[in-house]
Amino acid sequence: MLDATRSGSLPNAAGVGYKPQHFAAIMEDPGPVRWLEIHAENYMGDGGRPIAQLRHLAERFPISVHGVGLSIGGEAPLDTEHLSRLRHLVDWLNPASFSEHLAWSTHDTAFLNDLLPLPYTAATLDRVAAHIDQVQEALGRRMLLENPSTYLAFAESEMSETDFLREIARRTGCGLLLDINNVFVSATNQQTDPRAYIADFPLDLVGEMHLGGHDEQMDEHGAPLLIDSHGTEVVDPVWTLYAETIARMGPRPSLIEWDNDVPDWPVLAAEAARADRILAPVSQ
């Protein structure tokens, strides 16, 4: 098992997914935002403005590096070239946290730029655990693994997602990133109870939470189909589920994700303020 952190940890407060158009506003007045998360793949260039901005931000804020391209659930071996680039970023930035997804995105050298689903089987467990061991070894730190948004299920699945995540964490020592919107989206799409999911989730392993917006559609049978779009405000039922979860396990670093149709800074800051109002009373 590896060290939990090398450079402190994220505060039990509100953070936002960093977007370059907000750089000046954040540096001037971050409001309730106490930490920032970046997508690792956007900072793998050799230089230029992205790296320069990140250096400035890292002087003022704890940074969480969130990978979206490792394909930890991939059937093929991990892309070692990509893992080296990730290691380079983590080495110079020394972020407060690193997280990735329970998903796959690369197969036969094609990177599909989406977080694709996995069957919850013994074979997937072995593969994902081996890949997480490899990542934690390469980075020299513990990582957090995020629960996915899912739109369909695999007939071959043998265990629940919560049991799967619990076993992955037990085998690898990794922590978990609990995305409350993903819980709500998946539970709606799978017609299960999001509260039952939270009740069954190993909350003691949660090192970070995500909140984001989703779109509402219907499948061809008229059943609700929620899409994890990160393009709107967090909806009230997700806020309620978040508040209930925080009341139960205590405060955790909590991130607002808004990746599409990114709003002006005040709108994003207001979402962070809403998380802050839920976190503050339990952080006393």
Residues that bind other proteins (CB under 8 A): 41-42, 44-52, 68-71, 74-76, 79, 82, 85, 104-114, 116-117, 119, 121, 151-156, 189-192, 219-221, 223, 225, 227
If we measure between CA atoms, which residue out of 88, 86, 90, 68 comes closest to residue 6?
Answer: 90
Closest CB to other proteins among residues 153, 203? 153
Closest CB to other proteins among residues 154, 266? 154
Closest CB to other proteins among residues 227, 270? 227
Q: How far is 276 from 57, CA to CA, in rounded Å?
A: 21
Least distance (Å) between residue 263 CB and other proteins: 17
Closest CB to other proteins among residues 153, 249? 153
Return the number of other C-beta atoms located less than 10 Å from residue 242's C-beta: 25
> Which whole-number Å values give the CA distances from 21 to 18, 26, 29, in the listed order?
9, 10, 14
Contact 145/132 with Cβ under 8 angstroms? yes
Least distance (Å) between residue 222 CB and other proteins: 11
Which residue is associated with the tokens 């017609």?
191
Least distance (Å) between residue 208 CB and other proteins: 21
Least distance (Å) between residue 75 CB and other proteins: 5
Closest CB to other proteins among residues 123, 267? 123
Least distance (Å) between residue 13 CB and other proteins: 29
Q: Are strands 206-212 and 97-101 parallel, antiparallel or unpaired?
A: unpaired
Residues 6+ apart with CB under 8 A from 154: 117, 118, 119, 120, 121
Q: How far is 192 from 48, CA to CA, in rounded Å?
A: 46
Closest CB to other proteins among residues 75, 126? 75
Which residue is associated with the tokens 């967090």?
234
Least distance (Å) between residue 87 CB and other proteins: 14
